[in-house]
Chain A
Amino acid sequence: MASTGQTSGFYALRDPDVRLMLRVRADEPGAFEELVARFQNRLLAVMRHLCGDPEEAEDLAQEVFLRVYRSRKDYHPQAKFSTWLFTIANNLASNSRRRKLRKPVTQLPLNDSGPLGPRPQENLLLDRAPAPDHRVNHDELAMVVQEALAQLNERQRLAVILNKFEDMSYQEIAEIMNISTKAVKSLLSRARSELRELLRGYVEMDRCPETEASLRVEKGEGP
C-alpha cells in the first residue's frame, strides 16, 4: 500500500522516536534499551498520575515496554511514536482499572486516614474550600495539586496529563483516547473548570517567595 508506505516514511523522517522504534523492529542491539531509557520517566509519570500507586505504576510501565517489544515486528509508523506508546499505556491502564473494579478493595476516603487521624498534608485537603490561612510551602502545594488532580475522573486526568506534560495536541489526545477532538476539547474544558474550583484558594493566594523560588529551581530556571 503506497499511502501507508508514504505515511511511514513521513513519520520516520520527522520523528526521531519513530526512527529509534524502527531500529528496535530491526532488532538492532541496544536500540530497545535506548527506547526504554528515553521514555521511562515520561511513561512512569503518566502511569503514576493515572493509577496513583507508585509500584503499580512501575509494573504497568514495564508491561507497556513489554507490549512494545512483543509487537515490534508489526510496527508501522502511522503517527508520532509517543502517540502509539501512550495508546498502549492507556489501554493497559484501562484494563487494570477494570480488573480492580471486578475485585474491589475497600479504600478509605481521601480525607480519612483511619483511627490515627488525618496526615499533616491532609489538613490541607481541598474541600472546594476557602483560601489557606497560611502560606504553603512547595511540598504542601504539590500534595494539594496532586489531590486535586486525583479528584478528576480518569478520562479528564489523562487528557490533562497528556496535554500539560506531554504537550500533546487535541488530535493526538483524541487518537490515544479513541475519542473525537471535540470530545477532548470538552473534557479539557471541564477538567480545567474543575481544577479551578478545587484549587481556587491556592490560585488566589499570593505565592510565598520560597515556593516561587523552589518552583523556579525545579523548572531549571535558576534562583
Chain B
Amino acid sequence: MSHNDALSPEDREALVQYLDGEMDEEQSRVFQARLASNPTLRREADTLKRTWELLDYLPRPVASETFTSRTIEKIETCRMTTLRRRRTWRWVGGAAWAAALTAAALLGFLTIQPPVPPEAFEPTPDDIRIYEHREYWHYYEKVDSLEFLKALERERLFPEET
C-alpha cells in the first residue's frame, strides 16, 4: 500500500488547489497547518511539485520568422476572396432583381392589357362588286391580284351583268 492511498480524492484536489495558489488566505492558512502535521500530505505535495517542475523540460515551439507575414498574407487572401465573392453576389443579386422586375412587368402588362379583338372584315364596295361578279372569279384565280381586277373594274372592262 503506497502512501498515496492514505489521501482521499478531496485531499488531493485541495492539495493541487493549494499548490496552484487557488486558495484564499484563510484556506491557505488552514491547509498549511494540515501540511505541517501530516507527513503523507507533505510528501505528496513535494512529489506533485517536482512532477510539475518536470514540465519545464517540455519544448517551447518558436514560430518561424515568416509566420507573421504568412499569416497576414493568408488573411489578405481571404479578405480579397470575400470581397470578390461579395461583389459577385452583388452583381448576381442585381441581375436577378432586374430579371425579376422585367418578368413582373411583363406579367403585369399581359394581365392588365385586354385582349385585342380581331379586326372585323369590312369589304369595300369594290370587294363587294368583285364578289358579285362570281362568273369572273376564275380570272382572279389566274391573275392572283385583286389590284389588277380592281383596275379592270375601274376601266369597266367587266361585261355588264346580263
**Interfacial residues, chain A to chain B (CB-CB below 8 A):** 32-33, 36-37, 40-41, 44-45, 48-49, 54, 57-58, 61-62, 65-66, 69-70, 138, 141-142, 145-146, 149, 160, 163-164, 169-170, 185-186, 188-189, 192-193, 195-196, 199, 202-203, 215, 218-219
Contact = CB atoms under 8 A, between A and B. Distances in A.
Contacts of B20: 163, 170, 188
A164 B12 contact: no
B47 A58 contact: no
Contacts of A185: 13, 16-17, 22
B72 A169 contact: no
Contacts of B54: 141, 145, 195, 199, 202-203
Given A189-B16, A199-B54, 13 more contacts: A32-B72, A32-B75, A33-B68, A40-B71, A41-B62, A65-B75, A66-B78, A70-B78, A138-B57, A141-B57, A142-B57, A145-B54, A160-B55
Contacts of B58: 49, 142, 145-146, 149
Contacts of A186: 13
Given A41-B62, A203-B51, A33 B57 contact: no
Contact of B59 (A142, A195, A199): A142
Interface string B132-151: 00000000000000000000
A203 B53 CA distance: 9
A163 B48 CA distance: 14
B90 interface: no
A63 B144 CA distance: 85
A62 B57 CA distance: 26
A36 B75 CA distance: 12
In the complex, which range does the number of interface residues on chain B fall in? 20 to 34
A44 B61 contact: yes
B61 A203 contact: no
A197 to B, nearest CB: 9
A92 B147 CA distance: 89
Contacts, number: 104
B68 A203 contact: no
B52 interface: yes
The 6 closest A-B pairs by CB, nearest first: A40-B63, A189-B13, A189-B16, A142-B57, A196-B51, A48-B61
A67 B38 CA distance: 50
B154 interface: no
B74 A66 contact: yes
A145 B60 CA distance: 13
B9 interface: yes
A62 B22 contact: no
A40 B57 contact: no
Question: Could you say which of A36, A48, A61, A169 has the most chain B C-beta atoms within 10 Å of its C-beta?
Answer: A36
A163 B54 CA distance: 14
B68 A170 contact: no
A36 B72 contact: yes
B56 interface: yes
Contacts of A192: 12, 16, 48, 51-52
Interface string B53-87: 01111111111000110111011001000000000
A149 B17 contact: no
B61 A57 contact: yes
A185 B23 CA distance: 11
